[in-house]
Structures are given as structure tokens and as C-alpha cells.
Amino acid sequence: MVAYTTPSSIQLPERVEFPVSWAGHIPFAFWIVENLRPKKIVELGTHSGNSFCAFSQAVDRLELDTALHAVDHWAGDEHAGAYDTAVYDDLKRYMKNRYRDRPHLHRTSFDDATREFDDGSIDLLHIDGLHTYDAVKHDFEIWRQKLTANAVVLFHDTAVTNRDFGVGRYFEELAKEHLAFNFSHSHGLGVLALSENLPEPVLALLRGQADMNGLLPRSVFSRLGNAITDHFYAEAFCKVEERDPFHMGPDAPSLSEMLRMLQHNAGERITLYTGFNSPKVNTSDVSDDLPLKILASGFFSPDHYAKLAGLSTDDALALCRHYLDEGEEAGLSPSAEFDPVFYAQEYPDVVTSGSGLLEHYLFHGRHEGRVPMSAEGVIQEITPPETTKSDVFAKEE
Ligand SMILES: C[S@@+](CC[C@H](N)C(=O)[O-])C[C@H]1O[C@@H](n2cnc3c(N)ncnc32)[C@H](O)[C@@H]1O
């Protein structure tokens, strides 16, 4: 039985540090450790440790005897930027206090570290060093012989195409010859399998199959992951009064950059909440009792709609029918969680399909990763009335 939402994947990370570009993959890191049960994990490129701490937390919570190794010279590179030794010292201290140094930190180059590992010994390799095409190809090729026959390899930054990033291009080449799956959120994470001799849930994910709840891997892990980066940025906002709340240093994102990240992720986050909170709807037979199914979905609020439409009745079914007959076309929202005007503008293919907008979202759109309202709308929903966006920018200036 395959499930993408598991006690492991939905747990919260114990440590998230700046920079957070990887942090959106933490739920997947928890999940892959739970389902692959690797004997040895090696990471090439650790920086402040978001990815490596996620692997370490999963191993610890699952009480596995997995060996954990992080390789980095902890000096930075032309993509990550240069940073000082405090980054390594902080991570080292954390590993000592939290895990009694069980995960090993190898402070050396990727090439030199190969000497410390036996051939055919690594089941899970995470490559996240320099992101040029040549560098990532080199890293994979020199570590290739260290992998077991059934190893899984993760490549970060497959979705970044600016500057001279080439991970996505190299991953596409590998994916022609291997079973592979690519996440696009949080800068992209490619998952590559050397063989198909893998546990059933891992195979299902690599094939992009829905799990026992009908949920697709891309949709589950992007929403769980974005919630983690949202949380990080939201906490930073709450502490805007303090100087340098996360010890982010001079290269930290500005408040306006953080707000943009929050906006970017918020639309997907609301889909996560609403998607999981609403009762499961049988999508196979939607036509006969559509108003009833829409009422049951939690996306129709009779109070909200009656107020907008200026109707006095408290007959929820009649209100829902009114919405379907004329309200949606008039641009009235059925609840605070769905904006038909946004949905029609964002997804013109739905308009031309002839399907109702909310009907489409409930039975198709949310499973395809479409969002029910603009990020601006979500921000308005979640921003306390006394704090407006201009206040936030004003504080920054
Ligand atoms: C993008 S960061 C890693 C991010 C990290 N995985 C996370 O979760 O935030 C890349 C790291 O790779 C390291 N690095 C790049 N090339 C390297 C090499 N050839 N040998 C050792 N470390 C290297 C850099 O020092 C940098 O810390």
C-alpha cells in the first residue's frame, strides 16, 4: 500500500536554517528514508545542513542503523557564495548535541572524499554541490562506482535554468536511461533509480502514481514542503523588529524578497489545508447530485454566499444551487477558499472545457496542482487586519 502522507513525511523539521532553498524537500527526505530504509546515506554539499539534518532526523526517529555522511569543504562555491567557518561550527555543534556526532561531517572536497568510501556501498546519494552541467556530471560520475546496484540518487536544483545551472539538463539525460522523477518546487529535486528492484512505494513515486488517497506525489510534497518554507519566512516576519533574527548575515534576503516567497507559496499552502480538510469526494459520479457534493466538500459556505448574493434564505442547498445556476457566472465566490474570477483567468482551458469552475477545481484541478485563488487573496485571508503589506514594507525602509 502506497501513502505519501505518513507519520514521517508530515513531521516537522527540528532545524531549518538560512539559506532555505532546499527546505521545501524536507518532507520528501523524511519519506524516502522511511520507504527506502538505506544502510548508507552520503550527501555531497551540505552548507548549513537543511537537507542533511532532515536525513539525520528521519534516521533517528525511525530508529534505523543507517550510516550518515555529509561531505563539504564548508567554504562555499560560486553558486552558494562564500561563507565563513561559523556555518560549519554551528552545524558541528548541533550534530554533537543532538545526535552525539553519529552523522559524520567530512570537511574535504568531493573528489578527495571518494577515498573514504567502499565501492558499491551507498544506497542513497544526494548531490548538491556546484550546479553547472560539468560539475554535477563530474560529481555523479566519480561517485557512481560507490553506489549499490539498487541505489537512489537525488539531484537538487533541477528546476533552475538561469545563470549557468545545468542540473536539469544533466538529469534529463540520465532520465532517458533510468527510472526517474522530478519535483519542480523548491528549485527542483530529481530522483533517479539505478534499478527497479526497489520497495513498492518508492517505485510508485518514481512512476508518478497516485497513492491510496488518490494524491499525486508532486502535489503532496510541494504542499508539505512549501508549508515549511512559508513557516520559516512567516517567523522571520514576526520578528522584523529584531535585528538579524536568524543570524542570516549580510547576504540574507530582504523583507520584500521574503514577502515574495511567502506570496509565491501561499496559494499552494491554502490548497493543502483545504484539500486535506475537505471530505473525500467520489469523483466518478458527479453529475446527479452536484450541489450536494459541493456542499459536502467544504468549499461552499452558505453564510458567506448568502451575504455576497444578498439572499436571505438559510436553505444551504438552495443557496448552492443558486451559486451553480447564476452566482459563479456573476463572479461571486462560494466561500473564502475559492475565487471563480481568478480561476477562470488563470485557467482559460477550464472555461473552454465547458465545466463549472468550482466543479472543475474540486474534481480535477486540485488533484492537478491548480490553485483556487490568487496568492494575493491568500495573503489577505491570512494577514491580520492591523498589518498591511505597506506596513511591512514601511518597516523595512
Ligand atoms: C547548495 S550548497 C548545499 C545546500 C544544502 N544541501 C542545503 O540543504 O542547504 C552547496 C555546497 O557544496 C559545497 N561544495 C561545492 N563544491 C564542492 C566540492 N567540490 N567539494 C566540497 N564541497 C563543495 C559548497 O561549499 C556548498 O556548501
Give helix 50-61 / helix 86-99 axis angle, nearest 10°. 0
Please give the DSSP secondary-structure letter assigned to residue 207: T
| Position 262 confidence tier, pLDDT thresholds 50, 70, 90 | low
Instruction: State the pLDDT at residue 276.
Output: 33
Nearest to 210 by CA among 298, 287, 283, 155: 283
Q: Which range has the top average pLDDT, 76-90, 102-116, 156-170, 230-244?
A: 102-116
Q: CA-CA-CA-CA torsion for 233, 249, 25, 368, nearest 10 degrees? A: 40
Average pLDDT, the chain: 84
Give mean pLDDT, residues 348-365: 89
CB 374 within 8 A of CB 339: yes
Residues linked to residue 135 through DSSP beta bridges, in sequence order = none
Query: Which residues make up the CATH 3.40.50.150 domain(s) of the chain?
Result: 23-213
Q: What is the atom index within ligand 1 of the atom nearest the CA of 19?
A: 9
For the chain, the helix, strand and coil percentages under 3-state DSSP, each to the nearest 5: 50, 10, 40
| Position 252 confidence tier, pLDDT thresholds 50, 70, 90 | low
Element (H, E) at 68: strand 67-72
Using DSSP, state whether 123 is helix, strand or coil: strand
What is the Cα–Cα distance from 322 to 317, expressed in whole angstroms?
9
Nearest to 206 by CA among 8, 31, 24, 20: 31
What is the Cα–Cα distance from 143 to 111, expressed in whole angstroms?
9
| Position 299 confidence tier, pLDDT thresholds 50, 70, 90 | confident
* Any atom of ligand 1 within 6 Å of the Cβ of 231: no
CB 232 within 8 A of CB 24: no
CB 164 within 8 A of CB 130: no
* Any atom of ligand 1 within 6 Å of the Cβ of 77: yes
Q: How far is the CA of 96 from the centre of ligand 1 (A)?
A: 21
* Any atom of ligand 1 within 6 Å of the Cβ of 302: no
* Any atom of ligand 1 within 6 Å of the Cβ of 264: no
> Picking from 29-33, 73-77, 153-157, which range would have the lowest pLDDT averaged per residue?
73-77
Which residues does 44 contact at the CB level (< 8 Å), separation at least 6? 71, 72, 110, 113, 125, 126, 127, 128, 129, 139, 143
Q: Pocket of ligand 1, candidates 43, 46, 158: which has the most ligand atoms within 8 Å of its Cβ, to mutate?
A: 46
Nearest to 129 by CA among 175, 80, 83: 80
Classify domain 23-213 by CATH architecture: 3-Layer(aba) Sandwich (3.40)
Give mean pLDDT, residues 165-180: 95
Q: How far is the CA of 48 from the centre of ligand 1 (A)?
A: 9
Using DSSP, state whether 281 is helix, strand or coil: coil
Nearest to 76 by CA among 51, 49, 46: 46
CB atoms within 10 A of CB 298: 16
Instruction: State the pLDDT at residue 237.
Output: 64
What is the Cα–Cα distance from 193 to 210, expressed in whole angstroms?
19
> Picking from 79-83, 84-88, 177-181, 356-360, which range would have the lowest pLDDT averaged per residue?
79-83
State pLDDT tens for residues 366-390.
777 778 887 665 545 444 334 333 3
